[in-house]
Amino acid sequence: MYVYDKFDNSLVSDRVEQFREQVGRRLSGELTEDEFKPIRLMNGLYLQLHAYMLRVAIPYGLLSSPQMRKLAEVARTYDRGYAHFTTRQNIQFNWPRLEDTPDILEELSSVEMHAIQTSGNCIRNITADQFAGVDAEELDDSRVWAELIRQWSSLHPEFTFLPRKFKIAVTGSPHDRTAVKFHDIGLILKHDEDGNLGFEVLVGGGLGRTPMIGRTVREFLPQQYLLSYLEAILRVYNQLGRRDNKYKARIKILVHETGIDALREMVEEEWSHVKEEGVDLPFAEVDRVRSHFTDPTYDVLPDHDHSFAVKQFEDPMFGRWVRANLAPHKMPGYVIANVSLKPIGGAPGDVTAAQMEAVADLADKYSLGEIRVAHEQNLVLADVKMSDAYSLWKKLDEVQLGTPNLGLISDIIACPGLDYCALANARSIPVAQRLQRRFADFSRQFDIGELTLNISGCINACGHHHAGHIGILGVDRRGEEYYQLTLGGSADENASIGKIVGPAFSNAEIVDAVETVIDTYLSIRANGEAFIDTYRRTGEEPFKIALFGEKQNVAA
């Protein structure tokens, strides 16, 4: 993985000192809370319902085991012994004290971590494929490009006060795991006809209150122009993005109101100048960063392991875990192990300090000392020998991290909701927990099969409800929590936006409503057809009828 040199180290430690000084000015009363707000927001510090919340960046979701141990230490020393992984591969601490935050950041800087640009109207953490480097289908390693963009965008003097926050994702695989089409800029690595490496550049994707799928602004951008092209898009957006209404300020609205063709013209015109202005990196710098992401030395292994096969047969829960949580690795004899942070009845994405330490130890023992964070709020151990998989799972299971539910109905994405968040209209976590309990039976979950269920506690859509096969949106109805159901969303390469089905359900009704949707699917699916494929084949009709009856359906 990327290792800081003296420049990276000095930038991050300078930033800690700068923040310490800024917090000092706040604590001394020199800065009012209003004046301090933009400063703390540039460094991931939010004021939530009950306390400050510190969001720490995990660039493209990659962590070393010492970094994971440090996060555990922070959770234990400065927080209440747990933390929360987010849908942008970051981690949040929910209860830090303001006066401790400089010390927390200093602790983090000792393991090359920071909270720079994890909030504010700037370029946020760059996300990438959690299977980067180990996926056989991958064209190129998205982490290389995400790291280069991370550096370019860090403390960028021109793009620190954009109209709104700005999210960039990079994917190098034909199967998209980054929700690339729901980002302000989505970068898809590809080859041109002559085999040159570059990017398809998408712009204007996003969720929130106006969900939109990103549009292609450039079919093929040669790799050497990545930064100048990004700078051109950001400059057009910084100048023309709306600032009169924060809900219309994301670049997706500019794309929508200007039209993709007109916007493309402006970007290309701007880029024709920027690319001559020395923004792009010399090849030596790209090579330097790439050299941090070369393959480790893998053992030469057979592509089958006898004990691996036998254990699946002997221990059905392990068999389930293999089916749901393991993915093929590019090297024979290795597997990618997804570690579910969605135990039945848990808070999605939450981990305790002890669990973090256990994962760090297991990464050292079984997976070359690295951990990845997926935007679905799970962890990944990417380099596990097939022959070690059973031992790994047993040890994960001892710390409640062995749940065999990846990609199944109980693998729920959920925002923190009204339990923590100042913006939320409704609670997310208790709904997720009730759904997990309702569908706790693993035979039933496997029978239902591949399904994404995403819950947001408000219209800002942090829980990606628009992009879930089933989405749940918390709304406030005269002071009561209600839940709107959406169907048919998808965050992968065939991205789609879920459609609202009928009126919202009460807190008491929502779990039954989801079960009705599931039972309907089971009754109408063709053989081997996943939920999303059934929905795309039949449309919403059968689900609407099941939920609301024929009469309601006619009226709608």
Partner 1 sequence: MSLLKAGKIITDTWTRIEDDQEFAEAGAVIVSLECWLNESESLRKRNEPIGVSLRNDQSPSQIIDDLEAISLIQLDFPAYTDGRAYSAARLLRQRYGFKGEIRAAGNVLRDQYPLMLRCGFDAFIVNEGIDLAGWQTSVEAMDTPYQPAADNDTRPVWAKRHGIAQAS
CA dist 527 and 531 (Å) reads 11
By CB under 8 A, residue 278 contacts partner 1: yes
**Residue among 195 and 282 whose Cβ is closer to partner 1:** 282
Which residues 33-92 are close enough to bind partner 1 by CB under 8 A?
35, 38-39
Q: How many amino acids of this chain bind partner 1 (CB under 8 A)?
A: 41
Residue from 2, 46, 82, 159 binding partner 1 (CB under 8 A) = 159
* Site stretch for partner 1 (CB under 8 A), options 12-20, 71-79, 127-135, 465-473: 12-20
Shortest Cβ 163–partner 1 spacing (Å) = 8
Amino acid at 91: I
Burial environment of residue 338 by CB neighbours within 10 A (0 to 12, 13 to 18, 19 or more): buried
Residue from 1, 2, 15, 45 binding partner 1 (CB under 8 A) = 15
Contact 322, 389 (CB under 8 A): yes
Helix 226-240 and helix 260-274, axial crossing angle in degrees, nearest 10 = 120
How far is the CA of 555 from the CAs of 517, 542, 543, in angstroms? 20, 15, 15
By CB under 8 A, residue 258 contacts partner 1: no
Choose among 485, 506, 507, 489: nearest CA to 497. Answer: 489
By CB under 8 A, residue 3 contacts partner 1: no
By CB under 8 A, residue 239 contacts partner 1: yes
Per DSSP, 368 falls in state T
* Site stretch for partner 1 (CB under 8 A), options 74-82, 160-168, 430-438, 470-478: 160-168
**Residue among 9 and 516 whose Cβ is closer to partner 1:** 9
The dihedral through the CA atoms of 374, 379, 384, 386 has a sign that is negative
**Residue among 273 and 394 whose Cβ is closer to partner 1:** 273
By CB under 8 A, residue 161 contacts partner 1: yes
Amino acid at 447: D
Shortest Cβ 35–partner 1 spacing (Å) = 8
**Residue among 157 and 195 whose Cβ is closer to partner 1:** 157
By CB under 8 A, residue 151 contacts partner 1: yes
187, β-bridge pairs: 170, 201
By CB under 8 A, residue 157 contacts partner 1: yes
* Site stretch for partner 1 (CB under 8 A), options 16-24, 191-199, 334-342, 508-516: 16-24
CA dist 205 and 252 (Å) reads 6
The dihedral through the CA atoms of 323, 328, 329, 334 has a sign that is positive
Per DSSP, 24 falls in state H
Shortest Cβ 278–partner 1 spacing (Å) = 2
By CB under 8 A, residue 125 contacts partner 1: no
Mind spelling out the 3-state secondary structure of 404-436? Answer: CCCCCCCCCEECCHHHCCCCCCCCCHHHHHHHH
By CB under 8 A, residue 269 contacts partner 1: no
Residue from 1, 2, 22, 490 binding partner 1 (CB under 8 A) = 22
By CB under 8 A, residue 5 contacts partner 1: yes
Residue from 93, 131, 152, 321 binding partner 1 (CB under 8 A) = 152
**Residue among 271 and 321 whose Cβ is closer to partner 1:** 271
Other beta carbons within 10 Å of 27: 12
By CB under 8 A, residue 476 contacts partner 1: no
**Residue among 115 and 495 whose Cβ is closer to partner 1:** 115
Shortest Cβ 263–partner 1 spacing (Å) = 16
Mind spelling out the 3-state secondary structure of 315-364? Answer: CHHHHHHHHHHEEECCCCCEEEEEECCCCCCCCCCEEEHHHHHHHHHHHH
Helices marked H in 111-250: 142-153, 226-240
Using CB under 8 A as the criterion, which residues of the chain lie in contact with partner 1 when the complex forms?
5, 7-8, 10-11, 14-15, 17-18, 21-22, 35, 38-39, 121, 151-162, 227, 235, 238-239, 243, 273, 277-279, 281-282, 284-285, 288
